[in-house]
Amino acid sequence: MSRFCDRCGKEVGIVSSTTTTADGRIVSLCAACATLPAAGPGAGSFGQAPSWAQSAAGGAPYVPSPSGKGNLLAILVGVVVVLALLVVGGATMALLVLRRPASKPQVQSANPGTPTAESTGSQESAAPGEGSARPGQVREANWDGTKPFVCKGQEQVVLRNCSGSVEDTAVRAEERCKLTLVACKLAGRTALEVRNDAEVIVQGGELTGSTGFGSIAVRVSDHARASIQGATILGTEQAIRIANQASLKLTDVTLRVPTEAAESRWPFSLAIELADDAELAMEGGSVDWGGKGVQLKDSATLVARKTSIRSTRRDSDRMEPVGLSLTGGAAGIIVEGKIKGPRIAVSIDDVSSLTLQKTVTEGEVKSEGNARLKVSKDAPDAEASLEQLQTTLRNVRAELKPEHEKITRYSKGACGGIFACYKDNFPGGAVAGTVLMRVNATGKVQSTTLQGNIPPKVAECIRTVGKERTIENFDGPVGDLVCTYSGTITKGMQMLSIKSDYRKTK
């Protein structure tokens, strides 16, 4: 017989009694269950409560389990079935998610009349839902042109057919923003500024720098990148400045002074300035400027193909406009271009490099100091891409940099002690001269040559200064310390233009 009660499932050491159900089955009962009365019709001699034998009066009859272990087994089976259903259901949902088609890139349009990116002049972008795009979205923005428009963060913004004129900066992109301007007309002290790793594409339109000190139509700086295609850039003081490892590409772009300002062009203005490892690539287009055309310094690079650069105004011999000038370790390649200056078309010095291929020059081509100038009547790089030419220039720049840094260190002392000689031996008046001190292989000055109208006592003093001079940590090459100066010296004042240099002996 079973050692479990068939009514309550309790394990018992000794079966108290047995009974027979109405259908003839024999069941075992413990002592407590054997004394319970029968309940309900059809119970026979097996007493049971309705909540146990039947769900209610007239409900389904109770079918006893062989033992308490049977109830436990049923529970375990139920749990396993539920878990299986959950697993199958989860897998089905995962399959549905995996098979869901990829969403397409979204283009979000700003609501008319709301700030877009930043059109209020503050430093915060509009909140999501007010015209600001989420990362990865390209947003078509609206701008009324009365306040500065700023794109920042990782926004991707498009402005089409916009027009704006503000006092300071009309449009600024910064902090990795990606901005596209299509057929926009901008004006301000700075029409467009791109900085801090931002990327900007300009397609058509007009960018105008307003008249006034510090006006620059386009500024690109701090590792930013910009591309301007088929646009016109206007200005009276400066059109473009690229600095601090930024890069700009101009394709069929026209730079010029506004027609209404043609008679009052700034004589010392500058069309394009590159500094601090900046890069400029030009394809087609023209630069027609009243002052200097294009100026490179501080290891900047320029690639230009089929581009015209023209400097047209000559105001004085002291501030001579130049079509193209390179200094300070800069490097350039001009292919099938045209360069014109009032007197000087090209000027290159100070450990810089320039290659002219099949390029027409109108005016003098000056190469001074440690410059490297190569002129070719053919154009071997006519079919090369601008990117390939830029790579070539980066290699040239890397080669020039160590030499430029060394020459710069040497040249800092070229004028040392010379003006003290004037202070002690000159009554005052106009001065002009050039002092060359020949440096030997050890860095010591071995001879001094004077050029210009230098008073005898001043000249004697300068030669004494030369005899005592030695360049510290000198490691070649042999050359000349050169100090060129002009201006006025009096007992209480000096007004001088000074240039110091170190030139390798050729």
360-401 pLDDT, tens digit each: 999 999 998 889 999 999 999 999 999 999 999 999 999 999
DSSP state of 88: H
Closest C-alpha to 464, from 451, 477, 450 = 450
CA distance 303 to 298: 16
Count CB-CB contacts under 10 A for residue 130.
12
Q: For residue 22, what are its two tokens?
A: 């109405």
80-84, 148-152, 300-304, 346-350: range with lowest mean pLDDT: 80-84
Per-residue pLDDT at 307: 98
Please name the residue that has the structure tokens 């240039």. 499
The 10s digit of each residue's pLDDT in 190-214 is 999 999 999 999 999 999 998 777 8
**d(C-alpha 250, C-alpha 260), whole Å:** 25
> Does the pLDDT value for residue 133 go beyond 60?
no
* Cβ–Cβ < 8 Å for 15, 3: yes
Q: What is the pLDDT of residue 259?
A: 65
Whether the bond into 258 is cis, omega within 30 of 0: no
Kindly report the number of other CB atoms within 10 A of residue 205's CB atom. Answer: 23
DSSP letter, residue 388: H
Other residues' Cβ atoms within 10 Å of the Cβ of residue 414:
23
Q: How far apart are the first and last CA of the chain?
A: 121
pTM of structure: 0.69
Residues 40/57, Cβ–Cβ less than 8 Å: yes
pLDDT band at 276 (very low <50, low <70, confident <90, very high): very high
Between 263 and 417, whose confidence is greater? 417
User: In the chain, pLDDT over 70 holds for what percent of residues?
Assistant: 70
32 vs 500, residue with greater confidence: 500
CA-nearest of 112, 153, 115 to 135 is 153
The pair of three-digit structure tokens given for residue 384, joined into one six-digit string: 């090369």
What pLDDT was estimated at residue 36? Answer: 57
Cα 436 from Cα 482, distance rounded (Å): 5
* CA separation for the pair 320, 69 (Å, rounded): 109
Number of H helices, E strands in the chain: 6, 35
Q: Would you say residue 244 has pLDDT above 70? A: yes
* Structure tokens that stand for 358 in this block: 């099949």
What's the residue count for the chain? Answer: 506
Residue 129 has pLDDT above 60, yes or no: no
Q: What is the mean pLDDT of the chain?
A: 80
